[in-house]
Structure 1
Amino acid sequence: MSDAQCFSMWGDSNVGWLHNEGENGAGSLLTMWHKEVFLYQSHLIGKGFIVFFGKHMQTDTDIVVVNVYSACNLQDKKTLWGELSSIKTTHQKCPWCFIGDFNVVRRTNERKGKSTRGSQTSEIRLFNEFIEGNLLLDIPIVGMKYTWFKANGSAKSRLDRVLVSEEWIQKWPMCKQYIQPREVSDHCAVIVKSMLKDWGPQPFRSIDAWLMESNFKELVKDKWNSYVVRRDGITNFKDKLKILKEDLKV
């Protein structure tokens, strides 16, 4: 990797990056950040991970983000989970976010078209022990249920996910993971986003997820035009917002 490649991918030159080359091109990982948003502090690179320590500038919060790619065999998975668990003990009080391809599901209904007997059942149990042992939370998903699809559509699984610490949730309580449509890869991209919007003491709050509904704008327009409020100016506007809020909850 080079600065020029990373700047081109991001579309901005004010970008930092870390690259884990993997082994013979397999398991390569790239972590990028915008320098106006995150302040880089340090990092650790190992087989299947990049751990990035930095500060979220807007909230002045020290955070840890882990970019993960797990190998297919169980022994490599156990080694990876053990290393990440050891690293996490050194920064327990920071908000942590683990994101990437874990190459394992948490439960049998996250896999379709492939058996989960034998060693795969052991993988599920050990993966859940890693999550629970590190007090991680699997934040809610929005979008598709599966993140990996076999080319012919005969199998699909949720191999990619976001796991965060309790400290992360305390900082961003409305955090969700958005599964994007599959395009160039057999995996779907995953976007982590906090939905909390602070509009001050106003009587109305907007939630970004509403905008993902195809009929949202028409619904707001139709509802707004149907309201009959017999007051003037800003009071009329405020009352309409209160009614709209209740309709949007429904």
Structure 2
Amino acid sequence: MWKANDAKWLTVDVVGSSGGILITWKSSKWDLVSSSSGTFLMSMIIQDKSSSSQYLLSVIYGPISQSLRASLWDELSQVRRSFSGPWCVVGDFNITRYPEDHSRRRRPSSAMARFSNWIQQEELIDLPLLGARFTWTNGRASPIQSRLDRLLVSPEWLEAFLTIKKITLPRTTSDHYPILLTVEDENWGPKPFRFNSSWLHLEGLHQKIVEWWKSFQVKGFAGHKLLYRLKLLKEKLKEWRREETQNREAKIEALMSELQKIDRVSKEVPMSK
């Protein structure tokens, strides 16, 4: 993955045929400040060598047992109380949050409710998942699929990385889809986006905005729902603006081509007055 002298790692051993956690990082970019582990959890505070900013990362492999799962929520809450900065919780939670997180749409359960309550209690943000709808499959001809894997971040993490996206990658040998948390334009900084009020007078745009807004499925408490809907709307408007610019340039190019043809013809045949 990286050259040997640049890679550091921490592990939690498997329990029977399940579990196990591996965290790796580039030692040239990150310093490990502290770490702690449990049966289903590994947490670490890391420091960016270039900025000295610190971040808390918790990686989990969730248990199936409801009692053990309750212990995991308590343990994660204790970890959070030890650090007030940006926090990211990622892993296979082994529990779905909503009925639509399952391909066969299960009924709401008390376990789902407790999971959602814990997320809201810790004020974590369940980032929208781009790419695949589900993160796990049993791989059969008529597969059962569900969203067991999640990546949750604190408001402080979101403030530190304004342009993060959570994307599923192609599945290879595992029955889980890898999830990539990526920061766009990290080296260049966020690009300003300006909404031109004259766009509202363009035919069809108002209806598009209404349709886009209704299509956004964002989970979380009210403030973050609004934040992410606005963020997704901005992305849609950027895409629309690019398409409009390309269409406009294509039309200009076509008109210029026609004018050149007319110009050539006018040089060969005098145009009538």
What is the aligned partner in structure 2 of residue 54 from structure 1?
46
Counterparts in 2 of 1:201 and 1:36: CA distance versus 1, 3 Å: closer
- What is the identity, as a one-letter code, of the residue corresponding to 1:122? S
Amino acid at match of 1:34: K
Q: Which runs of 5+ in 2 are unaligned?
A: 194-234, 254-273
Cα distance in structure 2, aligned partners of 1:129 and 1:107: 12
Question: Residues 198 and 80 of structure 1: is their aligned pair in 2 closer, same or farther, counting only changes over 3 Å?
Answer: same
Q: What is the aligned partner in structure 1 of residue 2 from structure 2?
A: 11
SS in 2 for 1:31: strand
Residue 87 of structure 1: how far off its partner (Å): 1.2
Q: Give the Cα separation in 2 of the matches to 1:33 and 1:196.
A: 21
Distance 1:27 1:20 in 2: 8
What is the match of residue 128 of structure 2?
140
Number of residue pairs the alignment of both structures matches:
207
How far apart, CA to CA, are the structure 2 residues paired with 1:109 and 1:131?
A: 18
TM-aligned CA deviation for residue 203 of structure 1: 8.7
Q: Is contact 2:135–2:149 with CA below 8 Å preserved after alignment?
A: yes
Listed as ranges, the gaps of 5+ residues in structure 1 are 1-9, 214-218, 229-250
RMSD: 3.0
Residue 85 of structure 1 aligns with which residue? Answer: 77
Q: Report deviation, 1:171.
A: 0.6
Distance (Å, rounded) in 1 between the aligned partners of 2:16 and 2:27:
30
1:115-166 per-position Cα deviation (integer Å, ceiling 9, x unaligned): 446xxx1111010111111110011221011000112143110111100001
> 1:111 maps to what in 2?
102
Change (3 A) 1:155 1:114: farther
Please state if 1:186 is matched with 2:175.
yes
Q: Which amino acid in structure 1 is aligned with residue 132 of structure 2?
A: M
In the alignment, the residues of structure 2 paired with residue 176 and residue 158 of structure 1 have an alpha-carbon distance, to the nearest angstrom, of: 17
* Runs of 4+ residues over 6 Å off in structure 1: 200-204, 219-226
Aligned residues: percent identity? 25
Q: Describe the shift of the 1:199–1:115 C-alpha distance in structure 2 as closer, same or farther (beyond 3 A).
A: closer
| AA at the equivalent of 2:160 | K
**1:97 & 1:139 partners in 2: Cα distance?**
11
Match of 2:144 among 151, 155, 160: 155
Superposition TM-score, scaled by structure 2 size:
0.67
Contact 1:54 1:62 in 2 (8 A): yes
